[in-house]
């Protein structure tokens, strides 16, 4: 299924990786949100469980092996093109995660990866849903 101008919404997962009151974010290396900071995550593959997808995406984009915990939220992101047509439509399911291994490095769709404190978040201008779920994750630790 194509991601840009899809025929139906795509299911995506996000990993809210928290350690020592910091959250791990990636700088997106591909559209949508190219160049912006966001949660590690991506599209669910056919036959893959949601939590398995969160673990896979976290590893692909950050180099870390994570363990999934609490479901933090379900969000919807619709991005329209200049002509008003739906360019991207994702239903995003985000899990609180904690790192259990691996080596931190930007990979696959990520241009950069870094830990951020709550105080650093406003300057990043995260998408509303990403900011909301990050704050939920930080409040759970």
Confidence of residue 102 (pLDDT cuts 50, 70, 90): very high
Is 130 among the domain residues? yes
**For a pLDDT cut of 90, what percent of the chain falls above it?**
85
Residue 53 DSSP SS3: helix
Residue 3 lies in a domain: no
Per-residue confidence at 106, pLDDT binned at 50, 70, 90? very high
Res 127: pLDDT: 87
Residue 41 lies in a domain: yes
Nearest Cα residue to 57 out of 108, 111, 104, 22: 108
Chain centre distance of CA 110: 11
Query: Average pLDDT, whole number, for the chain?
Result: 94
CA 57 from chain center: how many Å? Answer: 8
Task: Please check the confidence at residue 141 and state whether its pLDDT lies above 80.
Answer: no
Question: Is 42 within the bounds of a domain?
Answer: yes
* pLDDT in the model for residue 31: 77
Question: Could you give the 3-state DSSP secondary structure of residue 67?
Answer: strand
Q: What CATH number does residue 62 fall under?
A: 3.90.79.10
Range of the domain at 86: 10-139
Q: How many domains does the chain contain in total?
A: 1
For 67, the token pair is 């363990």
CA distance 64 to 134: 18
Residue 90 located in a structural domain: yes
Confidence (pTM)? 0.92
């Amino acid at each position: 299924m194509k991601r840009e101008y899809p025929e139906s919404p795509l299911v995506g997962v996000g990993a809210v990786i928290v350690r020592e009151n910091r959250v791990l974010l990636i700088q997106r290396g591909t559209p949508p949100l190219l160049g912006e900071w966001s949660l590690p995550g991506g599209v669910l593959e056919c036959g893959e469980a949601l939590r398995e997808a969160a673990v896979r995406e976290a590893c692909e984009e950050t180099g870390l092996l994570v363990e999934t915990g609490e479901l933090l939220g379900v969000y919807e992101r619709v991005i329209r093109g200049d002509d008003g047509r739906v360019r991207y439509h994702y239903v995003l399911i985000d899990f609180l995660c904690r790192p259990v291994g691996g080596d931190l490095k930007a990979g696959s769709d990520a241009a950069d990866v870094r830990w951020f404190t709550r105080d650093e978040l406003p300057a990043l201008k995260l998408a509303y849903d990403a900011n909301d779920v990050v704050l939920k994750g930080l409040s759970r630790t």
